[in-house]
Amino acid sequence: MEEKVRFWEKLFLCVIDELRKRQNGTLYDIIRASGLLRQLFIDGDKSLIHRANKKECLKIKFLVRDNSSELYKMPDKWWGRLYPINRKIPIELSLNKFLKWPICIYEEHTYTVYDLIDYFSHFLGGIHAGLPSDEKQNTFTLIHKAYPHIKDMPSISLYGILEVSICALKPLEDAIKGRTNTGGLEP
C-alpha cells in the first residue's frame, strides 16, 4: 500500500526536479539553483534535506574529487575542481564535511562549498541581492579578476556543487518515490 507523502518530502522532490531543470542552463539558472541549494542544506536541522530525510534516515554521501594534493601548492591563489572527473577516485563526505570542503584559496582566505552557495544566494540574487558583510566576502567578489583567463570560475564551481548534490540526493529521492504517490505539493 502506498503511503501518503509528507509536505517536506513533496517539497524536496519539487526542489530536486527544479535543480535538474537548471543543471545545464544559463548563469541565471545557476544563480537560481544556489537558492535551492541553500534551502536544501544551509539551515541546519531545519534545512529541507533534514526534514525530507526524517522518515528514511539515509546517510547522504557526497562524492567529491580529492584535491588535497594540490590544495596548498599556491598558498595565495588556488581553485579546485569539485566533481570527480578524469578517473580520480572520489572522497565520500557527509553534508557537514561537504559544506566545509575547500573550493578556492584567494588572498589568504579559504572559500568552501558553503561560501559559494552563500555568495550566489545572498549576493548574486539566488535568494536576494546584497552586499558583502565582511572582508572575506568582499575579497571573494574580486575573484573574477584573479582568473581573467577563465570567464566565470565561481559559476563553474557552483555547477560542480549542483552536480555532486544531485547525485548525492538521488538515493533519498528514489526512496521517497518508491513508497509514495508523488503528486502535487500540498501543505
Domain-wise residue ranges, the chain: 3-178
Kindly report which listed range (7-11, 14-18, 46-50, 152-156) carries the lowest average pLDDT score.
152-156
**Residue 2 scores a pLDDT above 70:** no
Kindly report, residue by residue over 52-89, the tens digit of the pLDDT. 999 999 999 999 988 766 665 565 667 777 766 665 67
What does the pLDDT read at residue 36?
96
Q: Where is pLDDT greater, at 7 or 150? A: 7
* 95: CB partners within 8 A, 6+ apart: 41, 49, 60, 62
Kindly report which listed range (1-10, 53-62, 87-96) carries the lowest average pLDDT score.
1-10
For 149-172, letters b (16+ CB in 10 Å) and e give eeeebbbbbbbbbbbbbeebbeeb
Half-sphere exposure of 164 (CA within 13 A, CB side): 28
3-class secondary structure, 109: strand
Max mean pLDDT range (35-39, 43-47, 149-153): 35-39
| Average pLDDT of the residues in 83-99 | 82
Kindly report, residue by residue over 109-168, the tens digit of the pLDDT. 888 999 999 988 988 888 888 888 788 888 887 776 666 555 577 778 888 899 999 999
What does the pLDDT read at residue 56?
93
What does the pLDDT read at residue 185?
53
**Residue 8 scores a pLDDT above 50:** yes
**Residue 42 scores a pLDDT above 70:** yes
C-alpha cell at 11: 517539497
